[in-house]
Every structure is written in structure tokens, then in C-alpha cells.
Structure 1
Amino acid sequence: MIRDTKTALLDVAEHAARARGFDGFSYADLAEAVGIRKASIHYHFPSKADLSAAMMDRYHAVLESECRKIETTYNTGSDQLLALIQLYRDALNNGKTLCLCVALISSRESLPADVIKKLKAFHTMMTKKIEAIFELGMQDRSIAHVSTPRAEAHAALALLEGAHLTARAAEEIQPFDEAMSLLKIRCHGAAQDQQ
């Protein structure tokens, strides 16, 4: 299946941002990778600010869709949490890339104000999704020691994103897995604690 030029540019730009940071690639890099003239990129994305906004919009929609799939596929809070951890783990590409949100935050000074707003909206959406997971895990007793789902959600998102940075710095998956181990141990643990 042949991708349209705009999608190809978004794909290449997202991979570059996730691997090298938003400041780590130029329109010349994109033009070479996609096989078009640099001036042609400006037709689709007049500025890098426009490109970053489009990348963030698409990433937000994709992650929201993935979270909905997790909600409908898994019945327990613990299974949903494990699936979310796996989603973030897969995004690391064995320590070679970050999730786009983390990659963009690390280049915050280079981003326009509307993209900063989009990043905040993304974090709000993810926090709500994770909060719902912890609420379910508290109700079905599949996640141990949950008392405040909202606080758990903020801590879990910080842990996921921080573990991304640590794994990317090491260029291997092990730091992510080690950071997630305590969170994963809590899954299915509430019922076991009662036995």
C-alpha cells in the first residue's frame, strides 16, 4: 500500500522525533527520507511548528484509540494496566525510541504554544484513562493497595514516562522493565492479599 506524501512525512518525522528529539531532524532530512524536494514539504507543513502540531494531533488520536482497545479487550483493572505497560514498552523499540510525547517534552523550548497545549491535553487524557484503570482495579480488587486512583494515575504516568527516558538513555529495555516491576507486582495482588 502506497502512503500519501503527507502521511509519509508524518511517519518519518515522528520516527525521527522519537529517535533523535524534535530538534534532531530538519526538513532536509525529511525530504531525503521521503524522496521529495524540501520545498514540497512546506506545501503540507508550512513550518516545523505546523508539523509538530499535526504529529501531536495524530499521536493523541492513536493513543486514545489504543486505550479504548485496552478498555474493551481486557475486563480487569490489572489486565488493563499490564496492557498499558506493554503499549509503552513496545513504543521504546528496545530503547531506540521514546513515545512522542516524551520526545517532544524534551524539546519544549522549541515548540509553539499550541503544541504545548496539545501536550497538556494528551497528559490529561492519559491521566484520565489510567485513573479509570486504577478505579476498576480498586473495584475488582485486581490491583493491590489502591486508595486514590487519581494520585495513582499521576504517579503511574510519571513512572511510565520516566522509565522511557531511562531506557532511551541506556538504549536498552531493561531499565524500563526494572522500573515497571513494582507496578506489575501489584497486578492481581489485591485478591491474593486477602488469602
Structure 2
Amino acid sequence: MKHFSEMSESALRVVDAAEGLIQERGYNGFSYDDVAKLVGIKKPSIHHHFATKGDLATAVAQRYTHRFREQLLRIEVQHARAPDRLTAYATLFENTFAAEHRLCVCGMLGAEAKSLPDGVAHEVSRFFEANTDWLAMVITEGQRAQQLRAQPEARALADAFLATLEGAMIVARSVRGARGPAGVAQTYLSTLLA
């Protein structure tokens, strides 16, 4: 399977359509028929680019992780302080959710982890590892600079913050009037400030 950076424009349109469908319905909630209708092509054309649905979802998760990592680098450049970086991180989730109450691609896929092909599950795991590693690094730096409380330890806080944001998206999609990721993150972060 080609890396997403080597794909043709038509293959990327298929990836775009599948990404939206995953954010809306999950892996088990869409078919190649759904993608074909969105893109305006026939099913065999999708199979030309992606032999299996697993290959397609792997490309979606791979590209999503890559884009997220790019955003993390931008946050590091734009914000020096840990609390500001964590607030900007929460904004990534808020921006995703603001687009028609879409959920994080890897959050949706992670909910279906037991039924995912191995390649997709691997990419989802990479997404969560990259995010918790980055969050733990930011929190550790914030604790050392006495911008954030020293306890609990950084990895536990990173895991909890990521889970909080993913959960906030699900709750806000399900419960009218519930606060989205940015509001929930603000409350969470207020408990961490030194």
C-alpha cells in the first residue's frame, strides 16, 4: 500500500471521503458504496486505489496522525508555556468537533479496536502513543517550570487529558447543551495550574 504522501489526487479524494465517514459513523458504519457516492466514482475505482477497506482506513488514520503531529509542532512554535500549549492542544479537538460534530478519527476507530484490521489498529495505536508522549513532555516541562502542579506524574495527567478530550467530544455529540472539548479542557486545566 502506498503512503498517503505518494497518492494521486483521486486517491486522496477517496481518503477525504472515508475520513468524513469514519468521523461520522466509524469504521463499521460505512462501505465503499458510501465512499463512491460521495466522491462520484464507481466502486471498482476505489478498489484500484485501495484493495480493501482496511487499506483505506489505514491510509486515513496514517494521514490523520501525520496532520496532528504537524499541528503539535505548530503549537510548540507558537506557544512557549505549557498551559498555553495544552489549551492550544484542546483547540485541535474543539475545531474537529465544530465541523458538524465530527469526532476524532482515531477516537472513533479506537472505539472499534476489537473489530479493526491489524494495519488500522496499528495506526490508531501510533496516534494515541504520539499524543500521550507529546502531552507528557509538555506537562513535564510545565511541572519543571512550576507552571503546573507537580502531582500526579506527567504520564498519568497526559493519559487523563487525552481521555477527557476524546470523551468530551462523545458526550457533547450525544447530549444537547453539553460543553465541548474546549470547555471541558478549561475546567481540567484549571485543576493543574500551579
Same fold (TM over 0.5): yes
Contact 1:96-1:172 at 8 Å conserved across structures: no
Give structure 1 stretches of 5+ with no counterpart.
Answer: 191-195
Question: Structure 1's 93 and 175: CA in aligned 2 closer, same or farther, altered over 3 A?
Answer: closer
1:92 equivalenced with 2:97 (yes/no) = yes
Corresponding residue to 1:130 among 106, 126, 135: 135
Contact 1:166-1:176 at 8 Å conserved across structures: no
Tell me which amino acid in the other structure corresponds to 1:44: H
CA deviation after TM superposition for structure 1 residue 172, in Å: 5.9
Question: Structure 1's 58 and 44: CA in aligned 2 closer, same or farther, altered over 3 A?
Answer: same
CA deviation after TM superposition for structure 1 residue 103, in Å: 0.9
Alignment of 1:35-114 (within 5 A): 35-93=40-98, 96-114=101-119
Q: TM-score, normalised by structure 2?
A: 0.88
Corresponding residue to 2:11 among 6, 13, 16: 6
Using the alignment, how far apart are the partners of 1:42 and 1:48 within structure 2? 9
Alignment coverage as a number of residue pairs: 187
Using the alignment, how far apart are the partners of 2:9 and 2:132 within structure 1? 33
1:118 equivalenced with 2:100 (yes/no) = no
CA deviation after TM superposition for structure 1 residue 107, in Å: 2.4
For residues 92-114 of structure 1, the C-alpha deviation after alignment (integer angstroms, 9 at most, x for no partner) is 12662100011112222331012
Q: What's the secondary structure of 1:92's corresponding residue?
A: helix
CA deviation after TM superposition for structure 1 residue 91, in Å: 1.1
1:149 equivalenced with 2:154 (yes/no) = yes
Q: Compute the RMSD of aligned alpha carbons.
A: 2.0
Contact 1:52-1:111 at 8 Å conserved across structures: no
Query: Sequence identity of aligned pairs in percent?
Result: 30
Using the alignment, how far apart are the partners of 1:185 and 1:94 within structure 2? 26
Using the alignment, how far apart are the partners of 2:151 and 2:94 within structure 1? 23
Give structure 2 stretches of 5+ with no counterpart.
Answer: 1-7
